[in-house]
Structure 1
Amino acid sequence: MSIDIEDFEVRSPKELEEPSNAERVLRFLYEHRDKAWKASTIAERSGVNKNSISAVLNRLKEQDLVRHKGSYWAITDDTERLRRAHQFHRTVQQFNELYGEEDRDEWTEASDQASE
Structure 2
Amino acid sequence: MPITKDRFDRISERDAHLDSDADRLLDFLIRHEDKAYTKSEIAEETSVAKENVGPVLDRLRERGSVEHKSEYWRVSDHELAARAGTRLTAATARQYDDGDEFDVEKWAEYAVGDVEWPGETE
TM-score, normalised relative to structure 2: 0.52
Unmatched 5+ stretches in structure 2: 3-16, 88-122
Unmatched 5+ stretches in structure 1: 1-13, 87-116
SS in 2 for 1:20: helix
Per-residue CA deviations over 1:55-102 (Å, capped at 9, x if unaligned) read 00000000000000000000011223345799xxxxxxxxxxxxxxxx
SS in 1 for 2:68: strand
Rounded to whole Å, the distance in 2 between the matches of 1:85 and 1:21 is 22
Per-residue CA deviations over 1:25-74 (Å, capped at 9, x if unaligned) read 01110111111000111011011100100000000000000000000000
1:41 lines up with 2:44 in the alignment: no
Q: Percent identity over the alignment? A: 39
For 1:59, the equivalent position in structure 2 comes to 59
Task: Point out the structure with max Rg over C-alpha.
Answer: 2
Is contact 1:65–1:82 with CA below 8 Å preserved after alignment? no
C-alpha RMSD over aligned residues = 2.6
For 2:20, the equivalent position in structure 1 comes to 20
Rounded to whole Å, the distance in 2 between the matches of 1:85 and 1:28 is 19
TM-score, normalised relative to structure 1: 0.54
Say how many residue pairs are matched.
71
